[in-house]
Structure 1
Amino acid sequence: GGLSFVNNTTSMQPKGIESNYLGNEDDEDAETMKFKKSEREILTIVHNHILSLSVIFFLLSLILATTSINKKLKYFLMIEPFLSVLLTFGGIYLLWSGVLWFKYVIIFSGILMTLSFMLATSSIVYQLFFSKSQA
């Protein structure tokens, strides 16, 4: 899936993220030559991911709203993924634009987005199978 692709393209390293979007043609020791993504490519990546992940997290939030987990945790899991989507994919655009330190924000927000998704999904599945019925 997605994490496997990220691992293949970036080796899960800050330098890998940078070279994936900005290219590595200056590195003579690079095993695979990569070139800076065009503006059209970067806008397509950012646009598609922000739209599709926002829909996924919106639907997940609607389902999560019906669970009986802690209210603060529920609100966090409903709101945080949207912030992470903007930081991760907006950060990719900023990195491409030359703000190199943003690669660390991309890593942090991507990890947080993944953990939020896993916790929200786990909470929903737990409520579905192990919660006592109120009926």
Structure 2
Amino acid sequence: MQLNGLIFTLPKEIKLLIGAFIIVLSIGFYTGLLFVGETSSANPNGIEEQYLGNEDDENATVMRFKKSEREMLTLVHNHILSMSIIFFLIGLLVAITKLNNKLKLFLIIEPFVSVIFTFGGLYLLWTGILWTKYIVMFSGILMTLTFSLSILIVLKQLLQKR
């Protein structure tokens, strides 16, 4: 079965379903990023403070406490499971677009690597390996860029006539 470009041959109803799914999923994804920005200042030190607390900082305007092991395991578990499903579905959609095979493969596989590095990195940060905050930041940015590019490609090709 030829997958490359299959998106162009889908019936209008399926294209509408995919488009609605992509839009609603994107709203949820970017809302999550807003939450990250609010809770961690979207920088490496803010990420560290969010998970390890700031009880020793006398100048802190908002007091934060180190997450418990249960909180961290719940966060890592929930995010890895939900993000793997999200990126599996997006990967299926990218697979049926007309795109260079190397770029397509990158857009399909990279988010799974970033999910492991981002949330595995958060757990390692929580255990005291402080340099992983930079890996978390980089992999989170890469995951977001990959998500955004994938969504744009799928939406563009959904709207194109063959």
| TM-score (normalizing by structure 1) | 0.96
Partner of residue 118, structure 1? 148
Q: Does 1:90 align with 2:120?
A: yes
Partner of residue 38, structure 1? 68
What's the CA shift for 1:63? 1.0
Partner of residue 80, structure 2? 50
What's the CA shift for 1:14? 1.0
Structure with larger RCO (C-alpha < 8 A, sep 6+):
2
4+ long deviations beyond 3 Å = none
What's the CA shift for 1:37? 0.2
Of 121-130 and 27-36, the range deviating more from structure 2 = 121-130
Equivalent residue in structure 1 for 2:97, among 67, 70, 79 = 67
Distance in 2 between residues matched to 1:36 and 1:102, nearest whole Å: 16
Equivalent residue in structure 2 for 1:107, among 137, 143, 158 = 137
Distance in 1 between residues matched to 2:131 and 2:70, nearest whole Å: 23
What's the CA shift for 1:127? 0.9
Corresponding pairs, count: 132
What's the CA shift for 1:3? 1.3
Task: Identify unmatched segments of 5+ residues in structure 1.
Answer: none
Distance in 2 between residues matched to 1:62 and 1:10, nearest whole Å: 32
* Deviation per residue, 1:3-24 (Å, 9 max, x gap): 1111111111111100100000
Distance in 2 between residues matched to 1:64 and 1:13, nearest whole Å: 30
Percent identical across equivalent pairs? 62
